[in-house]
Amino acid sequence: MAPTVEEKMVVLASKLLQETEAQNVSWNVANSGEISYGARAPHAFCAVLGAGAALVRNIDGDGAFPFEFAALNGVGQEIEALRTNSRDREPAGEFDQLLLDLYTAARRSAFAVGATLDDLLNALD
């Protein structure tokens, strides 16, 4: 049986997390580039992939649950989205943890957290 759209979205999120952690995919603040999702910065991050893009955002802007993961077409229209189930500070399941991890990795990529911390540490040496 062919995978469902929801299953494909979970696989996409998982692969994006792996590739982001390996520094093979980079993210930008979603409303700072070509694609504007209308989210309050810096709570939405976008990675352009082929003819489309992926977006991960914190729905209420507090950096904690809930999160949303969306696939966008080539003109920036959302074609599919999944939200976490959790409304608390703790993940409600594996998918919630996946989106928390993806959001964190996307934020760190968009803000070049590793390089910035290296620069700050080097300035103290």
pTM for this entry: 0.87
Comparing 31-40, 67-76, 88-97, 107-116, which segment has the lowest mean pLDDT? 31-40
DSSP assignment of 29-97 equals ETTSSS----PPTTSEEEEEETTEEEEEEETTSSSSS-EEEEEE-TTS-EEEEEE-S--SSS-SSHHHH
Q: Over pLDDT 90: what percentage of the chain?
A: 74
How much is the mean pLDDT over the chain? 88
User: Cβ(87)–Cβ(107) under 8 Å?
Assistant: no
What does the domain layout of the chain look like in residue ranges?
5-124
Query: Taking the mean position of all CA atoms in its chain, how far away is CA 9?
Result: 12
Q: At which residue do the structure tokens 């959001």 appear?
A: 103
- Under the banding of pLDDT at 50, 70 and 90, the label for residue 71 is very high
Whether the per-residue pLDDT at 27 is higher than 60: the answer is yes
A 10 A CB-CB count for 64 gives 16
Q: What is the model's pLDDT at position 38? A: 47
Q: What is the model's pLDDT at position 35? A: 46
Q: Kindly report, residue by residue over 28-68, the tens digit of the pLDDT.
A: 998 644 444 444 447 899 999 999 999 999 988 888 889 99
